[in-house]
């Protein structure tokens, strides 16, 4: 019986490993067609498009998802998925794929600048 416990203990400890912290602020993401960007700093989540007024919401507590971080406000939801992303307009590769929903409208792009 003691031998089984010794083999099970590392698996139990690994399941309790700490969740990595979200990227330090500010976090920047962008998208093309239509052009947009989002900035997550210590205080706010701000979404901007060239043809509209910026939408700013207080930064919520981060939710640690399986693949990245999630920020949910009444008007802006940001889902960061850690995985390489190309913006489709340049040769630049970003560390994250980002989905943003603003007032019910969905935008997809890249982030981690």
Name which of 79, 74, 67 is nearest 40 in CA terms: 79
* Average pLDDT over every residue of 6-30: 60
* Average pLDDT over every residue of 85-112: 93
This prediction has a pTM of 0.77
pLDDT value of residue 16: 55
Cα–Cα distance between 88 and 92 in angstroms, integer? 9
The answer to whether 59 touches 44, Cβ cutoff 8 Å, is yes
* Average pLDDT over every residue of 23-41: 89
The answer to whether 109 touches 32, Cβ cutoff 8 Å, is yes
């Amino acid at each position: 019986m003691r031998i089984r416990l010794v083999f099970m203990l590392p698996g139990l400890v690994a399941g309790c490993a700490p969740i990595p912290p979200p990227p330090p602020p500010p976090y920047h993401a962008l998208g093309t067609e239509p052009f947009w960007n989002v900035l997550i700093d210590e205080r706010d989540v701000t979404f901007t498009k060239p043809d509209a007024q910026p939408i700013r919401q207080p930064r919520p507590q981060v939710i640690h998802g399986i693949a990245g971080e999630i920020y949910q406000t009444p008007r802006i939801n940001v889902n960061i998925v850690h995985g390489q992303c190309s913006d489709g307009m340049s040769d630049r590769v970003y560390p994250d794929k980002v989905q943003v929903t603003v007032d019910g409208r969905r935008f997809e792009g890249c982030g981690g600048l």
